[in-house]
Amino acid sequence: MLKKILPAILAGAFAMTACAADDQKAVRDAIESLGPGIQVDSIGPAPMPGFYQVVASGRMVYVSADGRYMLNGNLIDLKSKTDLSAASWAATRKAALAKLPASQRLIYAPANPKHTVTVFTDVDCGFCRQLHAHIDEFNKQGIAVEYVFWPREGVKTTAGNDTPSYTKAVSVWCSADRKNAFNEAMKGATPKAATCANPVKDEFELGERLGVNGTPTIVTENGDVVGGYVTPAQLLQALEAPAGTPRRGG
Protein backbone atom coordinates (compact mmCIF):
# COMPACT_ATOMS: atom_id res chain seq x y z
CA MET A 1 0.00 0.00 0.00
CA LEU A 2 2.78 2.40 0.95
CA LYS A 3 4.47 1.77 -2.40
CA LYS A 4 1.28 2.91 -4.13
CA ILE A 5 0.66 5.98 -1.93
CA LEU A 6 4.22 7.32 -1.69
CA PRO A 7 4.60 8.29 -5.39
CA ALA A 8 1.32 10.23 -5.21
CA ILE A 9 2.48 12.07 -2.08
CA LEU A 10 5.83 12.94 -3.66
CA ALA A 11 4.13 14.08 -6.86
CA GLY A 12 1.83 16.34 -4.85
CA ALA A 13 4.75 17.80 -2.91
CA PHE A 14 6.64 18.44 -6.15
CA ALA A 15 3.62 20.17 -7.67
CA MET A 16 3.26 22.42 -4.59
CA THR A 17 6.96 23.30 -4.74
CA ALA A 18 6.74 24.11 -8.44
CA CYS A 19 3.62 26.19 -7.81
CA ALA A 20 5.37 28.15 -5.05
CA ALA A 21 8.35 28.74 -7.33
CA ASP A 22 6.03 30.04 -10.07
CA ASP A 23 4.30 32.32 -7.58
CA GLN A 24 7.58 33.72 -6.32
CA LYS A 25 8.74 34.39 -9.87
CA ALA A 26 5.50 36.26 -10.57
CA VAL A 27 5.97 38.27 -7.38
CA ARG A 28 9.63 39.03 -8.14
CA ASP A 29 8.84 40.06 -11.71
CA ALA A 30 6.05 42.35 -10.49
CA ILE A 31 8.28 44.10 -7.95
CA GLU A 32 11.23 44.49 -10.32
CA SER A 33 8.92 45.96 -12.96
CA LEU A 34 8.19 48.92 -10.68
CA GLY A 35 11.45 50.58 -11.62
CA PRO A 36 15.14 50.14 -12.47
CA GLY A 37 17.57 49.24 -9.71
CA ILE A 38 15.01 47.66 -7.37
CA GLN A 39 16.73 44.86 -5.46
CA VAL A 40 14.57 42.07 -4.06
CA ASP A 41 16.23 40.77 -0.89
CA SER A 42 13.66 38.22 0.26
CA ILE A 43 10.31 36.69 -0.70
CA GLY A 44 8.37 34.50 1.70
CA PRO A 45 4.78 33.55 2.52
CA ALA A 46 2.88 36.38 4.19
CA PRO A 47 0.80 35.79 7.33
CA MET A 48 -2.35 36.40 5.27
CA PRO A 49 -3.45 33.81 2.68
CA GLY A 50 -2.73 34.41 -0.98
CA PHE A 51 0.06 36.94 -0.44
CA TYR A 52 3.84 36.98 -0.19
CA GLN A 53 5.90 39.22 2.06
CA VAL A 54 8.66 40.95 0.10
CA VAL A 55 11.63 42.96 1.30
CA ALA A 56 13.05 45.04 -1.54
CA SER A 57 15.35 48.06 -1.46
CA GLY A 58 14.69 48.68 2.22
CA ARG A 59 10.89 48.39 2.02
CA MET A 60 8.53 45.64 3.15
CA VAL A 61 5.42 45.09 1.04
CA TYR A 62 2.85 42.37 0.47
CA VAL A 63 2.18 41.07 -3.05
CA SER A 64 -0.56 38.70 -4.22
CA ALA A 65 0.62 35.31 -5.47
CA ASP A 66 -0.28 36.22 -9.06
CA GLY A 67 1.78 39.42 -8.85
CA ARG A 68 -1.21 41.66 -9.53
CA TYR A 69 -1.86 43.38 -6.19
CA MET A 70 0.53 45.03 -3.75
CA LEU A 71 -0.16 46.30 -0.23
CA ASN A 72 2.24 48.91 1.10
CA GLY A 73 1.94 49.37 4.86
CA ASN A 74 2.19 47.54 8.16
CA LEU A 75 0.20 44.34 8.48
CA ILE A 76 -1.75 44.26 11.76
CA ASP A 77 -3.27 41.16 13.36
CA LEU A 78 -6.47 42.64 14.81
CA LYS A 79 -7.13 39.55 16.92
CA SER A 80 -3.82 39.64 18.77
CA LYS A 81 -3.31 43.41 18.30
CA THR A 82 0.14 42.63 16.91
CA ASP A 83 2.10 44.56 14.27
CA LEU A 84 3.27 41.62 12.18
CA SER A 85 5.37 43.80 9.90
CA ALA A 86 7.29 45.31 12.81
CA ALA A 87 7.93 41.85 14.25
CA SER A 88 9.18 40.59 10.90
CA TRP A 89 11.43 43.63 10.43
CA ALA A 90 12.88 43.07 13.90
CA ALA A 91 13.71 39.46 13.08
CA THR A 92 15.26 40.54 9.77
CA ARG A 93 17.44 43.20 11.42
CA LYS A 94 18.52 40.86 14.20
CA ALA A 95 19.59 38.15 11.76
CA ALA A 96 21.42 40.56 9.46
CA LEU A 97 23.29 42.38 12.24
CA ALA A 98 24.30 39.08 13.82
CA LYS A 99 26.40 38.47 10.70
CA LEU A 100 28.29 41.78 11.09
CA PRO A 101 31.44 40.97 13.09
CA ALA A 102 32.67 43.06 16.00
CA SER A 103 35.81 43.78 13.99
CA GLN A 104 33.69 45.89 11.62
CA ARG A 105 32.06 47.95 14.37
CA LEU A 106 33.30 50.85 16.48
CA ILE A 107 32.51 49.69 20.00
CA TYR A 108 32.09 51.74 23.18
CA ALA A 109 31.19 49.37 25.98
CA PRO A 110 31.34 49.07 29.78
CA ALA A 111 33.04 46.06 31.35
CA ASN A 112 29.83 44.07 31.78
CA PRO A 113 27.08 45.60 29.63
CA LYS A 114 23.44 44.94 30.49
CA HIS A 115 22.30 46.00 27.03
CA THR A 116 23.90 46.36 23.62
CA VAL A 117 22.63 48.54 20.78
CA THR A 118 23.79 48.97 17.21
CA VAL A 119 23.78 52.57 16.00
CA PHE A 120 23.91 53.53 12.33
CA THR A 121 25.78 56.82 12.45
CA ASP A 122 27.24 59.59 10.29
CA VAL A 123 30.08 61.88 11.38
CA ASP A 124 28.37 64.94 9.86
CA CYS A 125 25.02 64.29 11.58
CA GLY A 126 24.17 66.80 14.31
CA PHE A 127 21.97 64.43 16.31
CA CYS A 128 24.63 61.71 16.01
CA ARG A 129 27.09 64.12 17.57
CA GLN A 130 24.67 64.91 20.39
CA LEU A 131 24.20 61.19 21.00
CA HIS A 132 27.94 60.53 21.10
CA ALA A 133 28.48 63.46 23.48
CA HIS A 134 26.75 61.27 26.11
CA ILE A 135 28.68 58.09 25.33
CA ASP A 136 30.23 57.90 28.81
CA GLU A 137 26.78 58.18 30.37
CA PHE A 138 25.40 55.44 28.09
CA ASN A 139 28.22 53.20 29.29
CA LYS A 140 27.59 54.10 32.94
CA GLN A 141 23.97 53.02 32.44
CA GLY A 142 25.30 49.62 31.36
CA ILE A 143 24.63 50.19 27.67
CA ALA A 144 27.20 49.16 25.06
CA VAL A 145 27.03 51.24 21.89
CA GLU A 146 28.30 49.60 18.71
CA TYR A 147 28.56 52.03 15.81
CA VAL A 148 28.35 51.17 12.14
CA PHE A 149 28.77 53.81 9.45
CA TRP A 150 25.88 55.07 7.37
CA PRO A 151 26.99 58.21 5.48
CA ARG A 152 23.79 60.14 4.84
CA GLU A 153 25.03 61.47 1.49
CA GLY A 154 25.50 57.92 0.27
CA VAL A 155 28.69 56.50 -1.17
CA LYS A 156 28.88 58.18 -4.58
CA THR A 157 27.76 61.55 -5.94
CA THR A 158 25.76 61.75 -9.17
CA ALA A 159 29.08 62.49 -10.89
CA GLY A 160 30.49 59.22 -9.60
CA ASN A 161 32.83 60.68 -6.98
CA ASP A 162 33.02 59.65 -3.32
CA THR A 163 30.69 61.78 -1.19
CA PRO A 164 32.23 63.96 1.55
CA SER A 165 30.46 62.04 4.33
CA TYR A 166 31.65 58.71 2.93
CA THR A 167 35.21 60.04 2.60
CA LYS A 168 35.17 61.22 6.23
CA ALA A 169 33.85 57.88 7.46
CA VAL A 170 36.58 56.02 5.59
CA SER A 171 39.22 58.41 6.94
CA VAL A 172 38.02 57.77 10.50
CA TRP A 173 38.04 54.01 10.01
CA CYS A 174 41.52 54.08 8.47
CA SER A 175 43.05 56.33 11.14
CA ALA A 176 45.90 55.01 13.26
CA ASP A 177 43.75 55.75 16.34
CA ARG A 178 40.24 54.99 15.12
CA LYS A 179 38.37 55.88 18.30
CA ASN A 180 40.22 59.14 18.79
CA ALA A 181 39.54 60.10 15.17
CA PHE A 182 35.85 59.29 15.63
CA ASN A 183 35.65 61.24 18.90
CA GLU A 184 37.22 64.29 17.26
CA ALA A 185 35.03 64.01 14.16
CA MET A 186 31.98 63.93 16.42
CA LYS A 187 33.13 67.25 17.83
CA GLY A 188 33.21 68.73 14.34
CA ALA A 189 36.86 68.19 13.40
CA THR A 190 37.66 67.06 9.86
CA PRO A 191 39.50 63.73 10.03
CA LYS A 192 42.90 63.47 8.39
CA ALA A 193 42.47 61.90 4.96
CA ALA A 194 43.25 58.18 4.96
CA THR A 195 42.29 55.13 2.95
CA CYS A 196 42.43 51.40 3.54
CA ALA A 197 40.28 48.31 3.22
CA ASN A 198 37.13 49.27 5.13
CA PRO A 199 33.52 48.20 5.74
CA VAL A 200 31.84 51.60 5.18
CA LYS A 201 30.26 50.88 1.77
CA ASP A 202 29.03 47.46 2.92
CA GLU A 203 27.57 48.96 6.10
CA PHE A 204 25.80 51.69 4.16
CA GLU A 205 24.27 49.09 1.85
CA LEU A 206 23.31 46.93 4.83
CA GLY A 207 21.49 49.90 6.36
CA GLU A 208 19.61 50.50 3.13
CA ARG A 209 18.48 46.85 3.01
CA LEU A 210 17.28 47.13 6.61
CA GLY A 211 15.22 50.25 5.95
CA VAL A 212 17.56 52.80 7.55
CA ASN A 213 16.67 56.23 6.18
CA GLY A 214 18.35 58.58 8.61
CA THR A 215 20.87 58.85 11.41
CA PRO A 216 21.20 58.00 14.17
CA THR A 217 19.18 54.81 13.88
CA ILE A 218 19.35 52.76 17.09
CA VAL A 219 18.68 49.03 16.87
CA THR A 220 18.30 46.84 19.95
CA GLU A 221 19.58 43.30 20.39
CA ASN A 222 16.10 42.06 19.46
CA GLY A 223 16.16 43.99 16.19
CA ASP A 224 13.70 46.69 17.27
CA VAL A 225 14.34 50.29 16.26
CA VAL A 226 14.28 52.54 19.34
CA GLY A 227 14.51 55.79 17.47
CA GLY A 228 16.79 58.51 16.33
CA TYR A 229 18.34 60.66 19.02
CA VAL A 230 17.47 59.66 22.58
CA THR A 231 19.02 60.54 25.91
CA PRO A 232 20.72 57.84 28.00
CA ALA A 233 17.73 57.80 30.37
CA GLN A 234 15.25 57.45 27.50
CA LEU A 235 17.25 54.65 25.91
CA LEU A 236 17.58 52.74 29.19
CA GLN A 237 13.84 53.07 29.78
CA ALA A 238 13.11 51.73 26.29
CA LEU A 239 15.52 48.82 26.68
CA GLU A 240 14.08 47.80 30.04
CA ALA A 241 10.44 48.16 29.02
CA PRO A 242 8.31 44.97 29.08
CA ALA A 243 8.10 42.98 25.85
CA GLY A 244 5.46 44.34 23.53
CA THR A 245 5.86 47.96 24.63
CA PRO A 246 5.74 50.24 21.58
CA ARG A 247 9.14 51.69 20.62
CA ARG A 248 9.76 55.32 19.74
CA GLY A 249 10.89 54.50 16.22
CA GLY A 250 8.35 51.77 15.40
- The domain limits of the chain are 2-85, 96-239
> Per DSSP, which regions of 34-175 are E strands?
40-45, 51-56, 59-64, 70-71, 76-77, 82-83, 106-108, 115-121, 143-149
State the CATH class of domain 2-85. alpha beta
25 has a pLDDT exceeding 60? yes
Is the domain spanning 96-239 CATH 2.40.50.140? The answer is no
- Residue-wise pLDDT tens digits, 73-87: 999 999 999 999 999
- Residue-wise pLDDT tens digits, 103-117: 999 999 999 999 999
- Exposed/middle/buried for residue 101 (C-beta within 10 Å: 0-12, 13-18, 19+): exposed
177 has a pLDDT exceeding 50? yes
* pTM score of the predicted model: 0.85
**Overall average pLDDT of the 11-37 stretch:** 73
198 has a pLDDT exceeding 70? yes
10 has a pLDDT exceeding 50? no
47 has a pLDDT exceeding 60? yes
